[in-house]
Amino acid sequence: MIDLTTDCEMIVLSEENGISDFDCGNADLNDFFNRESYPAILIGRMAVSKEFAGQGIGSQVINNIKDFCLIHFPDFVRFLLVDAYNEPAVIGFYKKNDFIPVFSTDVQEKEAYRQQPNETLQTKYMFYDIMQLRNKEYQS
């Protein structure tokens, strides 16, 4: 079993490593992410071995991370972030786990990353709002 406190590295986005002049096409998100800091944890380099793919292990890990954040950082973490490989299976996996693309279009994301229009997006920035899980907990 994975111990999130020792087996994973968590990076807190803050004034030193945050986003400025953020524009994803959603006014509410723009306002939130243009703050000097926001309560988020970035999930980086998550993968499941090919021999175990399709068995729900990745979703179990994601759910454990969500639960871990809700239990250990209830008043601190609002968002889980991923910079997912821009491949249909990967994007589909995160969408299945209730992650939402931060940007409405590839054009917006390329502009935010200062990429040329003809460049291919290697990754897509996505987020999960922990409030979804917190609201489910309160409704139970």
Token readout for 112 is 């935010």
> First and final CA of the chain: distance in angstroms?
27
**Spatial distance between the Cα atoms of 7 and 15, rounded to a whole number of angstroms:** 26
pLDDT per residue over 12-69, tens digit each?
A: 444 444 445 555 555 655 565 555 567 888 888 888 888 988 899 999 999 999 999 8
Which structure tokens are listed for 101? 């693309």
Cα gap 30→53, rounded to integer Å: 35
Res 102 pLDDT > 60: yes
Confidence of residue 76 (pLDDT cuts 50, 70, 90): confident
Whole-prediction pTM = 0.72
Domains and CATH numbers, the chain: 4-139 (3.40.630.30)
pLDDT of 89: 93
* Cα 135 to Cα 70: distance, rounded to the nearest angstrom: 11
